[in-house]
Structure 1
């Protein structure tokens, strides 16, 4: 980043810099830095005060210090009288030390980011999307689904798309987020099969209740909850890929192969994290048979 771009960030940096502890003042700007009890002198008093003081706009605080004492010509305006009257409050000597807006008074990247970033209320499903073992591509699609930011046919039709809006997996209803997850008969079978392998029976199929239900059931950090969250994200991801394959004329996976792929992704993630033995670790081939619920067991 060039110096000119960095200099444009001064106004942002001022939000975090409370003041300077003045030592010799050689590195502190007289008019633009926050060293005086009145704050930034230029921001508060403007160009007129600089003109009245008979000084340029770029001197350092050291220009008004001699022999460790304040040295400023006689004031010619009320603003300068105010500025000079508060100089005795500032102790001189030592080093120039910036005092930052943080608990320790020192600069902190994390606290600066917390101050800069937009703040919103915490959603109940955040731990389902972002957790240490989350698979990034799965987490991204799951985040889009929770935000209702995917573009199923229902949205395309509202934007002027003239084709059919029916779901390509069941041809029974209009394709929407709530239908794909998991009112569609195809998606519902995949969802229930994967959840049964996780020893979760009769999971909800209405998207409006899945978020709160899963956040409550899988809020712990144990292995079972982690596996369930991984399976949830993988199911969402591969159902969306299945939908795209149907829409764009690609050869879609069958229901059995889709379930096998979800299991393989979850097992691979667990192997990478725990370096444990998994019953089957090879990617499912075209002729592979559907595996049992024990495929998720770590031995």
Structure 2
């Protein structure tokens, strides 16, 4: 098989995979009918005709499977042979409500579904995504993870940790994997999300060293820390809020990185050394952020 034919085959496979999506979100408004597939495109109110009628449709209607819409016309009128099938009669009744293709109508228009459910010429990835996705309830801690100045890799790890979706050893053991249960950082307790962030003595040292410089008494619990940040955010300036969120995420990222380094490379870093990593990480990020000036005080 040549490279060109292989590329064409891949394109066809991609189109077949997209077809279930396209039939819901793309509609073909018939103009000249020349490049619209009679059986496959969504150009009637009942959707793609092949899905409605099945594989026997082309034979029953005497319209070949690869036909274009224009092929079902004669002298600028629909040419649909009579049939005894109720299903085919329903298709024909639907087709006759559509103006027959004509060269004077211009090319066909492929329209995308809009937010109000109708179709228009402009594709919106946002609208299509809103139709495709299954919305979930908003979590209370989302503002701790997603904010304007976040560091992508750090926020991603924080998001996974708060969802309890990281492959900690307790999860791996529940999946049936034969791995040790003990925490790699402290070697005293079982490794879970809440132990690793920040109940473990090693992780607590890192988290407390930085978070306590912004606000006193940071909790040594992952979700409690997120709630603590949100609560104090209502009474602090924007710069402090931004900094504590970055510290929270950087701590999660660096602890997970250190944990993996110990498991996969047998190399460990003492707490006093690893403390330099968030310092450098935060400095690099804060340099690129324009500080928010404090609110002006009214004169006495």
**TM-score, with structure 2 as normaliser:** 0.73
Alignment of 1:104-253 (within 5 A): 105-106=120-121, 107-152=123-168, 159-161=177-179, 165=182, 168-169=185-186, 173-198=189-214, 200-218=215-233, 222-244=238-260, 249-253=266-270
Distance (Å, rounded) in 2 between the aligned partners of 1:48 and 1:240 = 57
Structure 2 residue ranges without an equivalent (≥5): 1-6, 292-300
Offset at residue 269 of structure 1 (A): 0.6
Offset at residue 160 of structure 1 (A): 3.7
Distance (Å, rounded) in 2 between the aligned partners of 1:65 and 1:181 = 69
User: Helix, strand or coil: the match of 1:11?
Assistant: helix
Structure 1 residue ranges without an equivalent (≥5): 277-299
Q: Is the 8 A contact 1:31 1:41 kept in 2?
A: yes
Distance (Å, rounded) in 2 between the aligned partners of 1:121 and 1:227 = 27
Aligned alpha-carbon RMSD (Å): 3.3
Is the aligned partner of 1:23 residue 2:31?
yes
Offset at residue 13 of structure 1 (A): 1.4
**TM-score, with structure 1 as normaliser:** 0.74
Distance (Å, rounded) in 1 between the aligned partners of 2:126 and 2:254 = 36
Residue of structure 1 equivalent to 2:109: 97
Distance (Å, rounded) in 1 between the aligned partners of 2:71 and 2:260 = 69
Distance (Å, rounded) in 2 between the aligned partners of 1:175 and 1:52 = 65
Residue of structure 1 equivalent to 2:92: 84
Residue of structure 2 equivalent to 1:70: 78
Offset at residue 61 of structure 1 (A): 1.5
Q: Is the 8 A contact 1:157 1:165 kept in 2?
A: no
CA deviation string 1:210-251 (max 9, x = no partner): 233334444899332111111111122233344455665425
Offset at residue 57 of structure 1 (A): 1.6
Aligned residues: 270
